[in-house]
Amino acid sequence: MNLYANAVPVNIHDVRTAKENTRRHQTPQHTVLIVELVVFTDGWINYQSSFYFISSEWKSWTESRRYCTERGADLIIINNREEQDFVKKISANANVWIGLTDSDVEGRWKWVDGTNMTSSFWDPREPNGGRRENCALTYSPGWADYPCSDLFLWICEKSSLK
């Protein structure tokens, strides 16, 4: 089953409205709708073997990562083109922090789990920040490096297999 085909950004207000309407009009169609939306009610979206949370507030890379780890997650690790496309879809092409940094060794990009970056989706002009820009974000054309202290939205990821 490909959950990507069914995963769409959902406003939490829409979920609450759907739940309220279902309570008022108990029909099989509404019941199915709630089953499909239940993964969205706390802000997390299930896709493949992970749950994703896209923020609605701006934080630095470090603050964003702290937010994720306090919830048993971490900043997203993008493993392939399909996941990159999924991220672009759920973020509506907004600039969002991802779990990639070269803070330890300049030019050696590593994911938050310590693994080396193997596939990348850098904008052709990136990375270009040298020692000033050590954290990565994804935006419409691809990835870019930015100062870790800049404020952006972010995406957390946690395994749904735990």
Is residue 60 domain-shared with residue 104, that is, in the same domain? yes
Residues 23 and 93 both lie in one domain: no
Q: Are residues 7 and 84 located together in one domain of the fold?
A: no
- Measure the CA–CA gap between 75 and 55, rounded to whole angstroms: 11
Structure confidence at residue 6 (pLDDT): 44
Asked, for residue 20, whether it belongs to a domain, the answer is yes
Give residue 43's pLDDT band: very low, low, confident or very high (50, 70, 90).
confident
Specify whether 61 is located in the same domain as 35: no
Q: Is position 48 within any domain?
A: no
Give yes or no: residues 73 and 3 share one domain.
no
**85 and 143 belong to one structural domain:** yes
Could you give the number of structural domains in the chain? 2
- For residue 59, the one-letter residue type is K
Q: What pTM does this model have? A: 0.75
Sequence-distant (6+) residues with CB within 8 A of 132 are 147
Q: Specify whether 92 is located in the same domain as 145.
A: yes
The answer to the question of residue 33 being in a domain is yes
Phi, psi of 26 (to 5 degrees): -70, 100
Q: Is 91 among the domain residues?
A: yes
User: Would 49 be classed as within a structural domain?
Assistant: no
- Dump pLDDT digits (tens) for 62-86: 999 999 999 999 999 999 999 999 9
**Cis, bond preceding 147 (omega within 30 deg of 0):** no
Comparing CA positions, the residue from 57, 18, 22 lying closest to residue 37 is 18
DSSP state of 59: B
The domain in which residue 59 lies consists of 54-159
Q: Could you tell me if residue 47 is inside a domain?
A: no
104 vs 17, residue with greater confidence: 104
